[in-house]
Amino acid sequence: MALRSLLFLAMAAPAYAAYEWYGVVKLAHSSEYDLTIKTLDETMNLYIAEVNEGATLDVGKLDTIVDGAAAYMQTYCGTQAAHGTEIEVEGTQKCVELTMNTDTTALSTYEIHIGAHAHRRRLSGDDVYFAIFAGHGIAEWEDSSAHFLKCGAAACGDVAASADIELECVGDVDHAGHDHGRRLSGDHDHETTATCAKPSLSDGASKPVAAVALALAGLAGGLALFL
């Protein structure tokens, strides 16, 4: 297949709502986190993407990741992560299909390993912002008895072991009439969490070309077979 044909298929693929919720958290490289969710009656795609390292969230970079998230998830969420297994985030992005605990009365748990970033040293006082996209609204999978994301058994950068990882902001997702995005029940009231900011239309931060580049990331290896 010609390179032009592959690019045309990637660009022409129909867009669809691959995620129903996303939020931003601060994580640390070379750290492990515990993800705990309700056991659903179906699988759920989970996409983790590094946004930026710095004192504040780069809303332009976040907007570019959001623009390309559905296409990326449609293409790269083929790897399954079973209950009780590790999810290795070795680069800046990772998408998996979560499979649930076979004990439907118990929660489903996973370990997220954020790898060391090549050629980068974390600066004192700087945070690393990650966006997390989920194939279902958070009201469907967060359990009131357990915070969904915690630092693991060892400290995560400046965060103590076993500490809750709080949301920095929650994305405003258009569900076309069915809003799963902002409501939380029980002890985890995220309705007070800020909505993730959007870049100014005049600052040029959100660019369709950049979003397409994100969606096509990883095709390079496959395209090499045809050259």
**Do the strands 31-37 and 108-114 form a parallel or antiparallel pair, or are they unpaired?**
antiparallel
CA 143 to chain centre: 19
Higher-pLDDT residue of 226 and 100 is: 100
Which region holds residue 22: left if phi is over 0, alpha if psi is between -120 and 50, else beta?
A: beta
For the segment 34-72, what is each residue's pLDDT rounded down to a tens digit? 999 999 999 999 999 999 999 999 999 999 999 999 999
Query: Which contiguous run of DSSP H or E holds residue 59?
Result: helix 59-76
Distance CA 105, CA 141 (A): 14
Distance CA 24, CA 221 (A): 29
Q: Pick the most confident of 98-102, 125-129, 190-194, 212-216.
A: 98-102
Contact 92, 65 (CB under 8 A): no
Spatial CA neighbour of 25 closest among 139, 137, 120, 112: 112
Q: What is the structure's pLDDT at 120?
A: 53
Which region holds residue 162: left if phi is over 0, alpha if psi is between -120 and 50, else beta?
A: left
Q: What is the structure's pLDDT at 155?
A: 96
Q: Has residue 198 got a pLDDT over 80?
A: yes
Q: What is the structure's pLDDT at 192?
A: 75
Query: Which contiguous run of DSSP H or E holds residue 161?
Result: none
Distance CA 218, CA 49 (A): 14
Q: For residue 129, what are its two tokens? A: 């912002």
| Mean of per-residue pLDDT scores for the chain | 81
Contact 92, 64 (CB under 8 A): no
Q: For residue 206, what are its two tokens? A: 């959100």
pTM of the model: 0.78
125-144 average pLDDT score = 92
Higher-pLDDT residue of 6 and 171 is: 171
Q: What is the structure's pLDDT at 103?
A: 97
Distance CA 87, CA 143 (A): 20
